[in-house]
């Protein structure tokens, strides 16, 4: 199970953390600026998935690019540190996520898989009180590989050798990270698309749901 924008609403938490960071840096956090940061950030993480950037480069580059566009001089490393510290202390749930975890807990083996920064993800999951639902939490920074690489999932499965891939499924909102990752891993995939049914091209999930309740119903049928 993916975490960001599947269980926890990352974009809402991101917006709050970015606003606080920009205010701290004496930059007006208008809606347009916050939206632009999010766009830049998403693009950098996509490059990480493709192996074109390192995690360290992603975390600095997103701020450098934003500051360049705004025409301001600020310390990107300081911005990164302040932002990550702020982000790690808050959480917002996706609709139905708490109910989903309660309904699945004890009936299925639950594992979290995330490309998010270790300190940030641990802080957010701790804040949300959801660590107890997962038998293991696999973070790419600790694993040494990133979703969607087969290597990431191979290392996860190596830690849980009893698990049958044919009896496994990944739930996530990202086609390029979660669904492609599940395909690379040779497990079933379910795309969570809360904004409505998606159109699929090159990356096609086995299943798709628009609400987390639907995922519970899907599992019961498999």
Q: What is the dihedral of CA 32, 86, 191, 2, to 10 degrees?
A: 160
Of 175, 108, 182, nearest to 149 (Cα)? 182
Residues 6+ apart with CB under 8 A from 97: 6, 7, 8, 212
Q: Are 188 and 170 in contact (CB under 8 A)?
A: yes
| Token output for 159 | 């830690």
Of 130, 100, 99, nearest to 114 (Cα)? 130
Exactly one of 2, 4, 9, 173 is catalytic; which is it? Answer: 2
42 flagged as catalytic? no
Q: Which positions are annotated as active-site residues? A: 2
């Amino acid at each position: 199970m993916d975490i960001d924008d599947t269980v926890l609403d990352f974009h809402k938490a991101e917006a709050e953390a970015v606003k606080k960071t920009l205010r701290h840096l004496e930059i007006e956090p208008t809606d347009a600026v916050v939206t632009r940061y999010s766009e830049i950030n998403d693009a950098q993480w996509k490059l990480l998935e493709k192996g074109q950037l390192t995690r360290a480069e992603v975390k600095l580059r997103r701020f450098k690019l934003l500051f360049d566009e705004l025409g301001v001089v600020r310390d990107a490393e300081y911005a990164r540190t302040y932002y990550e510290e702020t982000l790690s202390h808050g959480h917002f749930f996706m609709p139905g996520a708490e109910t989903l975890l309660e309904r699945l807990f004890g009936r299925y083996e639950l594992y979290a898989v995330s490309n998010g920064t270790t300190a940030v993800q641990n802080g957010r999951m701790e804040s949300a009180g959801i660590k107890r639902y997962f038998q293991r939490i696999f973070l790419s920074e600790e694993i040494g590989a990133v979703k969607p690489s087969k290597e990431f999932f191979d290392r996860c499965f190596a830690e849980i050798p009893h698990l049958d891939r044919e009896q496994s499924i990944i739930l996530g909102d990202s086609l390029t990270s979660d669904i492609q990752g599940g395909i690379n891993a040779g497990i079933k995939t379910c795309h969570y698309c809360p904004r409505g049914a998606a159109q699929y091209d090159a990356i096609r999930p086995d299943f798709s749901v628009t609400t987390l309740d639907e995922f519970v119903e899907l599992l019961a049928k498999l």
